Amino acid sequence: MQSISGIIYLILAACLLPYVFTFIAKKASGFTAKDNQNPREFLANATGLARRANAVQQNSFESLPLFIGAVLMAEYMVIPQTFIMTLGIAYIVLRIIYGICYLVNWATLRSIVWTLSMLCSVCLLLLIIRIV
């Protein structure tokens, strides 16, 4: 029971992370209740930090299916818990670093960190393939 709770926390953290960047995008753009009529259009027209924060939240949502699928499949296929947790925590930490790199506009480092974060999910899937 304890092992599955770690998996649930990983998935919860990954799912909530995009909303942190959504909050930053809205705060940086001067988003108001009036803008809530069409928030996607408002954020699509944002500039600077707000635009980059919006891009981070969009990319964070895009990477979620691969991560969640890999973690759940790894748990189902009884990959050792230490591998799942290590790669899952690495994914979360790398996604936070990725977001910071995006916000401060460090494009090259951002791309490297993005690749490393995606490799966490890919490695879990490769471990699964190996045992099948």
Mean pLDDT of 72-82: 93
Residues 80-96 have pLDDT tens digits of 999 999 999 999 999 99
In order of their start, the domains of the chain are 2-131 (1.20.120.550)
Contact 24, 92 (CB under 8 A): no
Q: Helix, strand, or coil here: 47?
A: coil
Give the orientation angle of helix 107-131 with respect to helix 81-103, to 10 degrees: 160
Residues 15-29 have pLDDT tens digits of 999 999 999 999 999
CA nearest to 99, candidates 49, 65, 64, 27: 49
